[in-house]
Structure 1
Amino acid sequence: MKTLYRIGQIVPSSNTTMETEIPAMLRAREALHPERFTFHSSRMRMHKVTPEELANMNREGLRCAAELADARVDVMSTACLVAIMAQGLGYHRQVEEDFRRIVSENGADARVMTSAGALIHGLKKLKAKKISLMAPYMKPLTAKVVAYIESEGIEVVDSICFEIPDNLEVGRRDPMQLLDDMKKLNTANVDVVVLSACVQMQSIPALQTAQDRLGIPVTSTSACTTRNMLDLLGLEAATPGYGQVLVV
């Protein structure tokens, strides 16, 4: 088995989190396992988290996929959950199909995924039937995220949205503030709490503390993205400290 893997991400131009949180988790894994990772990204223009900007950004995704295919990455993922979920139920499957086509046309063989699909993947790894979540989006976009998750067979018992339209501002939010925010979330009788349903809203410093306090699995889209990448690469997750999805 190879020991060096190239990780590719298709990142909104204003995203400052996915190129820090994904490497942080995989660097932590390097302390426990022999595999090593390098990180590569291609960017799509987006400033405000609005339906119009998200749709415009999505149109740049195929160009980004081709650029990452040129780098012969081993796995590539989108790094914007709401951009996918706002386009219609199950849309992550269409995006993945389009990426596979682009990868093949460019003579590469990268595994492909989306952060939207990764959240669903991670929740199913955790056997979640009922969840509660927090997100930075405006209410209409949060409602689309909730409907998307529920269309995949997972009930959303409660959700809190912080209504921050500026994507840079989302990335500047203190992740430890999520521990106080969580106190307002209905977590009774849920299987999993999604501390951050947005890949731009930082979460990983708070994940393990939140899980220890609640006594149930706590995860985020970035942690689920990391798990999905490892699964596609056929690698063991086993990286404690980032919630249950990187342990099971």
Structure 2
Amino acid sequence: MTKNYRIGQIVPSSNTTMETEIPAMLRLREQVRPERFTFHSARMRMKHVNKDELAAMDAQSDRCALELSDARVDVLGYACLVAIMAMGRGYHRQSESRLRAATESNLGAAPVVTSAGALVDALRVIGARRIALVAPYMVPLTKMVVDYIEHEGFEVVDWRALEIPDNLEVGRHDPRELPGIVAGMNTDGVDAIVLSACVQMPSLAAIAQVEAATGKPVVTAAVATTFAMLGALGLEQVVPGAGALLSGAYSTVREGGLR
């Protein structure tokens, strides 16, 4: 019997990528596994990627969690990495706990994944210690992201800030430019490449090319979020064509290991 899952996402109002890349990956998974997925979103207002707008946006996340729990989603993803990281070191743990409590208060308890927590957890899963990172943010916000990740125990050997302040423009960034950006970075001795430290910057189409060119596993915020969502659902974390993390080699759930 095919089982259906409802995927809930809390997204910035200007985000146009998580509602394309997450479904794209799970549709690919549907070609090789029996589970099926539907997608449901709630939005937080944000247009410009700066610390003040991010903080104001994060304050709306509890409302979004309640709204999604009305739909009785099976897992809830907070789809804005930098909003979490800009709130201070380790904040993803506080956010995940608070938002899950919001769903429980509405009698619609669901596991909560943040893209920030998913990324650092994914790096641990693949055994990475030294990484290179690409982000679309302005330099000050990118430094916050680097500090957040390093506080979690990783060394960011090299990073690039693409300095795109408007979130809609981040969503329009051409993923075909990413391999060239990575080619100009110091990736010698790194264990993994974070190709997009942002769920809004499209990257899925470039993952295979960058892995082939560098010989390194490539992780993105969207891929890490998908990995974490599947794990929270008790489903094997495998998606064809989405890079090493979702190849099945790192799955923490065996095939058939449903909740």
TM-score range, shorter chain: over 0.9
Per the alignment, residue 16 of structure 1 pairs with 16
Deviations 1:148-193 (A, max 9, x none): 0011111111100000100000000111110111111110100000
**Identical-residue share of aligned pairs (%):** 58
1:100 aligns with 2:82: no
Distance 2:178 2:64 in 1: 32
Tell whether the 8 Å contact from 2:54 to 2:83 is kept in structure 1 after alignment: yes
2:64 counterpart of 1:64: yes
Deviates more, 1:33-42 or 1:97-106: 97-106
Q: CA deviation at 1:109?
A: 2.0
Query: What secondary structure sits across from 2:175 in the alignment?
Result: coil
Secondary structure of 2:97's counterpart equals: helix
What residue number does 1:28 align with?
28
3-state SS in 2 of match to 1:188: coil
Q: Distance in 2 between matches of 1:245 and 1:191?
A: 13
Q: 1:2 offset after TM fit, Å?
A: 6.7
Once the two structures are superposed, the pairs formed by residues 24-173 of structure 1 within 5 Å of their partners are 24-173=24-173
Which residue identity lines up with residue 173 of structure 2 in the other structure?
Answer: R
**Mapping for residues 151-230 of structure 1, pairs under 5 Å:** 151-230=151-230
Name the SS for the 1:134 alignment partner: strand
Matching residue of 2:253: none
SS at match of 1:46: coil
Amino acid at match of 2:50: T
Counterpart CA distance in 2 for 1:243 and 1:157 is 21
Equivalent residue for 2:257? none
**What secondary structure sits across from 2:132 in the alignment?**
strand
Query: Hey, what's the Cα distance between the residues in 2 that align with 1:170 and 1:185?
Result: 20
Q: Work out the CA distance in 2 between the residues paired with 1:138 and 1:173.
A: 14
Q: The residue matched to 2:11 in structure 1 has which SS?
A: strand
1:4 aligns with 2:4: yes
SS of equivalent to 1:9: strand
RMSD: 0.9
Where does the alignment leave 5 or more consecutive residues of structure 1 unmatched? none
CA distance in 2, matches of 1:215, 1:21: 23
TM-score, normalised via structure 1 length: 0.98
- Report the secondary structure of 1:199's partner residue: coil
Distance 1:73 1:116 in 2: 20
The answer to whether the 8 Å contact 2:2/2:34 transfers is no
Give the AA of the match of 1:206: A
Q: Do the aligned partners of 2:96 and 2:114 also contact (CA within 8 Å) in 1? A: yes
| Count of residues paired in the alignment | 248
Distance 1:165 1:212 in 2: 30
Task: Tell me the alpha carbon deviations over residues 50-88 of structure 1, each in whole angstroms, 9 at most, x when there is no partner.
Answer: 000000000100000000010000000111000000010
How far apart are the structure 1 equivalents of 2:47 and 2:239?
33
